[in-house]
Structure 1
Amino acid sequence: MDKAQIVKYLLDHDIQKVKFAFADIDGILRGKTIHRKKFIDGLDEGYGFCDVVFGWDSSDVIYDNAAVTGWHTGFPDRLCRIDLNTFRTIPWEQDLPFFLADFGTGDGGGLPVCPRTLLRRIEKECEDAGFHPEFSQEFEWFNFKESPDSLQDKDFNGLRPLSPGMFGYSILRPSQHSAFYHDVFDLLGRFDIILEGLHTETGPGVYEAAILHSKVLRSADKAVLFKSGVKEIASRHGIVASFMAKWNAELPGCSGHIHQSLWSSDQKKNLFYEAGASDRISELFRHYIAGQLYCLPHILPMFAPTVNSFKRLVEGTWAPTTLSWGYDNRTTALRALNGTEKSARLETRVPGSDCNPYLAMAAALASGLYGIKNKLSLEIQATKGNAYQEKDVQRLPSNLGAATEAMSNSTIASDLFGKAFVEHFTATRMWEWSQYEKQVSKWELKRYFEGI
């Protein structure tokens, strides 16, 4: 629907309010509900929005190391624009009209630290190179019979999972909570987020969903809205949904794997597939894999952005720990799927469900394109078997501090995303790490308080 059609829709249905939102640096949706008149008046010129949303962390604590905004700027309004192509209605809010926005100009310009603006620019670079980027993300998450109030009252201890036991791919468990299960599938579908599949994963109360693939920016939009939508639907069933990467050391973590392929500009040919090759993958696909492997140590925080992200990246937990790739191998960082032209793709397995989809997809696409542009050779051999046992393969940084330091000092990262974005993003990740380092954990108290 274009501008005129949307305005007509609002008037014809006597709709008085509209909701819009955008993703901050952590991938958290920030936004507001506005009156129809304000919405219509701002369609051409945009809307002012306080830029504190890029000056504070996920707990609304002001960064003390960010230059883009802060007390030193007075937190002015920045111009944001609603993307009319994102129009949908929220079925669990009486079909309230909803739009996504960003702090961009529509052509990739605008505020360089805005995640959606960054991905829009990378998508355009991909198209300018003659490729159509097709992406999708899948998520695992834990569900609890809790509320925001009970989480605080319990201090996050003794939480009740939606269902007990390890029941991966269970038919029984979803049927025991069928109202919630089917609302996730059906209501998200009406919200223009079509799921390819929804099932339980191994772990108490764990679900996994794969979102139908789309062009990269649209795919990231759907991934961001999926996480928010699941949380809102869950709340209406007395459930808290958590996309934390690793909430319990004894249980598996939650992934946010990214599937991707490059197609011809007319979308008729999968450029990752080559039927005549011995392994059915094209030279272009090999360059793309090589680019991701080469860039990964330089941009890891874009895939693993929190302290907790790295608690998931440990051996034997279905998450990667090394700079590795393999054919249909779920122990490697990159999993190449080469069965048919229709399905040939790369699965980047580093991201957890806590990632910002805009930044994770921007990182995947930009680094793959880097490999193509520079015709990087795929010198790392494909892993056969268990990647955890390959001791001579480079390991990923083990914590957010080390990964962020590597990114902040990397010319590769600045070449891919621009100096302004890298400086701001790494400053926010170092802030996150510094907040963690100040804390005294229960583990430390139990280990040292009395006996040391």
Structure 2
Amino acid sequence: MDQQASIDFITQSDFQKIKYAFTDIDGVLRGKVIHRQKFLDGLTDGYGFCDVVWGWDSADTPYDNGQLTGWHSGYPDAPVRLDLTTLRQIPWENNIPFFLADFSRPDGNDLAACPRSLLKRIAAQCRELGFHAEYAQEFEWFNFRETPQSLQQKGFQRLEPLTPGMFGYSILRPSLESKFYHDLFDWLIQFDIPLEGLHTETGPGVYEAAIMHDEVVRAADKAALFKTAVKEIAYRHDLVATFMAKWNADLPGCSGHIHQSLWDLNKTRNLFFDSARPNNMSELMRQFIAGQLHCLPHITPMFAPTINSYKRLVEGAWAPTTLTWSMDNRTTALRVLNHKAAYTRVEHRVSGADTNPYLAIAAALASGLYGIRHQLPLTVAASVGNGYADKQNGVLPTNLADATMAMAHSPIATELFGAEFVDHFTRTRDWEWRQYARQVSDWELKRYFEII
């Protein structure tokens, strides 16, 4: 919907309140409900929003190393702008109008920490190079017969899954919870997040959904909203959904794979497909893959942003550990799918379900464009068979501390995203690591308490 149509919809409707939200650095939706008059008054000058949302973590604890904002600045308001083209209505909340927002500014001096603003800038660079970026993200997540209160009372232990056992691609299991299953599919369509597919994955109570592909910013919008929408729909069925990368050491992790392709600006030709070249791979596609492999060790925290992310990235767990690519092989970091021009794409398999979609997709696109700009040759051979064993090009970082350190000191990361963003983002990841390092885990107690 264009901007004027959105304004007309609000002014001509009976809705007295409007909801808006944006993602913070962790991908958590933050926002509020405002009166229709407040909405109309802010159309020109924007709205003020406390910039503490860029100065605290996902648990609302202020960073002790922040530069962008903090006690030193007094946490003032920052101007947030609603993107009027993102109007949708929330079907499970009486169709209240909803807008996505970001901290971009008309003069181009965007807030460095804003993930959506960062992706918009990368998408603009893509268009300037003459490409239309088409993207989609898919997610796996676990569902439990719990509430936020019961999770706390149980200490996040002995949780009851939606359904028992390992039963991937089951037709039987969703029939047990057909109302939830169909509400997910139907309400997400009504919320302008159409799904290409929805099914069970292997694991108790785990689902996987693939979102329909779209222009890269709109694709990230849908992915960011998808995670919160699923949680809200689950609440209405007395369930809790989690997008943790690895909630249980004995069960598979949850991915957030990114599907990506570049087209001409008219979106009439997939520029990754070339039937005259080996494996139907155009030179542009090879440069794109080369760029992603080259940049990946420098920007891993954007695909694996939490302590828990690296518990998923282990051998034999359906997630990659090596800097590899392949033709339709699920053991590598990048998987090429190109049996037909219309569906030719590169699947980025490092990204987990715990990512901020704006940052993960921005990282994927920016690193691919890096390969094109620098005309990097794809010198790494495609992996055949077990990609975990193919370490010819190196391996991924194994923890957030190492990954963050590499990104913080990387000129490549700075070239891709700018020094201000890299500084802020890596400070937040350093904070995350330090919060983890000072904790005493159950594993430590069980291993050392009596014996040592």
Query: Would you say the 8 A contact 2:146–2:159 is kept in 1?
Result: yes
Aligned to 1:274: 274
Task: Look up the equivalent residue of 2:261 and give its one-letter code.
Answer: S
Q: Secondary structure at the match of 2:299?
A: helix
Q: Secondary structure at the match of 1:332?
A: coil
Unaligned runs of 5+ in 1: none
Aligned to 1:408: 408
Would the alpha carbon gap of residues 412 and 261 (structure 1) be closer, same or farther in structure 2, given more than 3 Å must change? Answer: same
C-alpha distance after superposition, 1:32-82 (max 9, x if no partner): 000000001001110000000000000000001010000000000000100
Aligned to 2:295: 295
Q: What CA distance in whole angstroms lies between the structure 1 residues aligned with 2:405 and 2:260?
A: 28
State the shift of 1:150 in Å: 0.2
Query: Would you say the 8 A contact 1:108–1:121 is kept in 2?
Result: no
Aligned to 1:56: 56
Aligned to 2:220: 220
State the shift of 1:108 in Å: 5.2
Q: What CA distance in whole angstroms lies between the structure 1 residues aligned with 2:5 and 2:195?
A: 28
Q: What CA distance in whole angstroms lies between the structure 2 residues aligned with 1:380 and 1:51?
A: 44
Would the alpha carbon gap of residues 3 and 270 (structure 1) be closer, same or farther in structure 2, given more than 3 Å must change? Answer: closer
Query: Would you say the 8 A contact 1:107–1:120 is kept in 2?
Result: no
Q: Which residues of 2 match residues 352-363 of structure 1 at below 5 A?
A: 352-363=352-363
State the shift of 1:338 in Å: 1.5
Aligned to 2:11: 11
Task: Look up the equivalent residue of 1:428 and give its one-letter code.
Answer: T
1:261 lines up with 2:261 in the alignment: yes
Aligned to 1:334: 334
Aligned to 1:78: 78
Aligned to 2:186: 186
Q: Secondary structure at the match of 1:101?
A: strand
Q: What CA distance in whole angstroms lies between the structure 2 residues aligned with 1:117 and 1:179?
A: 37
Query: Would you say the 8 A contact 2:324–2:390 is kept in 1?
Result: no
C-alpha distance after superposition, 1:414-443 (max 9, x if no partner): 000000000000000000000000011000
Unaligned runs of 5+ in 2: none
Q: Which residues of 2 match residues 167-246 of structure 1 at below 5 A?
A: 167-246=167-246
Aligned to 1:348: 348
Task: Look up the equivalent residue of 2:219 and give its one-letter code.
Answer: S
Q: What CA distance in whole angstroms lies between the structure 2 residues aligned with 1:428 and 1:146?
A: 30
Q: What CA distance in whole angstroms lies between the structure 2 residues aligned with 1:40 and 1:103?
A: 18
Task: Look up the equivalent residue of 2:348 and give its one-letter code.
Answer: T
Q: What CA distance in whole angstroms lies between the structure 2 residues aligned with 1:97 and 1:46?
A: 18
Task: Look up the equivalent residue of 2:132 and give its one-letter code.
Answer: H
Aligned to 1:161: 161
Aligned to 1:67: 67
State the shift of 1:392 in Å: 4.1
Query: Would you say the 8 A contact 2:256–2:354 is kept in 1?
Result: yes
Task: Look up the equivalent residue of 1:285 and give its one-letter code.
Answer: M
Q: What CA distance in whole angstroms lies between the structure 2 residues aligned with 1:6 and 1:123?
A: 23
Q: What CA distance in whole angstroms lies between the structure 1 residues aligned with 2:125 and 2:393?
A: 32
C-alpha distance after superposition, 1:125-154 (max 9, x if no partner): 000000000000000000000000000000
Aligned to 1:430: 430
C-alpha distance after superposition, 1:316-365 (max 9, x if no partner): 01100000000001000000112111011000000100000000000000
Query: Would you say the 8 A contact 1:17–1:35 is kept in 2?
Result: yes
Q: What CA distance in whole angstroms lies between the structure 1 residues aligned with 2:366 and 2:34?
A: 35
Query: Normalising by structure 1, what TM-score?
Result: 0.99
Q: Secondary structure at the match of 1:44?
A: helix
Q: What CA distance in whole angstroms lies between the structure 1 residues aligned with 2:175 and 2:386?
A: 35
- State the aligned residue count: 452
Aligned to 1:252: 252
Query: Would you say the 8 A contact 1:274–1:281 is kept in 2?
Result: yes
Identity %: 64
Aligned to 1:444: 444
Q: What CA distance in whole angstroms lies between the structure 1 residues aligned with 2:133 and 2:363?
A: 13
Q: What CA distance in whole angstroms lies between the structure 2 residues aligned with 1:106 and 1:337?
A: 39
Q: Which residues of 2 match residues 97-176 of structure 1 at below 5 A?
A: 97-105=97-105, 109-176=109-176
Query: Would you say the 8 A contact 1:335–1:348 is kept in 2?
Result: yes
Between 349-358 and 386-395, report the one with greater CA deviation: 386-395
Q: What CA distance in whole angstroms lies between the structure 1 residues aligned with 2:109 and 2:216?
A: 18
Would the alpha carbon gap of residues 237 and 171 (structure 1) be closer, same or farther in structure 2, given more than 3 Å must change? Answer: same
Q: What CA distance in whole angstroms lies between the structure 2 residues aligned with 1:279 and 1:7?
A: 49
Query: Normalising by structure 2, what TM-score?
Result: 0.99
C-alpha distance after superposition, 1:293-334 (max 9, x if no partner): 000000000000000000000010110000000000100000
Task: Look up the equivalent residue of 1:336 and give its one-letter code.
Answer: V
Q: Secondary structure at the match of 2:241?
A: strand
1:396 lines up with 2:396 in the alignment: yes
State the shift of 1:3 in Å: 4.2
Task: Look up the equivalent residue of 2:77 and give its one-letter code.
Answer: D
State the shift of 1:380 in Å: 1.0
Q: What CA distance in whole angstroms lies between the structure 2 residues aligned with 1:76 and 1:39?
A: 21
Q: What CA distance in whole angstroms lies between the structure 1 residues aligned with 2:285 and 2:2?
A: 37
Q: Secondary structure at the match of 1:425?
A: helix
Between 24-33 and 392-401, report the one with greater CA deviation: 392-401
Query: Would you say the 8 A contact 1:272–1:284 is kept in 2?
Result: yes
Query: Would you say the 8 A contact 1:107–1:121 is kept in 2?
Result: no
Q: C-alpha root-mean-square deviation of aligned residues, in Å?
A: 0.9
Aligned to 1:93: 93
Aligned to 2:366: 366
Q: What CA distance in whole angstroms lies between the structure 1 residues aligned with 2:256 and 2:310?
A: 13
Q: What CA distance in whole angstroms lies between the structure 2 residues aligned with 1:31 and 1:80?
A: 10
Query: Would you say the 8 A contact 1:193–1:211 is kept in 2?
Result: yes
Q: What CA distance in whole angstroms lies between the structure 2 residues aligned with 1:238 and 1:158?
A: 17
Task: Look up the equivalent residue of 2:172 and give its one-letter code.
Answer: L
State the shift of 1:402 in Å: 0.2
1:28 lines up with 2:28 in the alignment: yes
Q: What CA distance in whole angstroms lies between the structure 2 residues aligned with 1:214 and 1:255?
A: 20
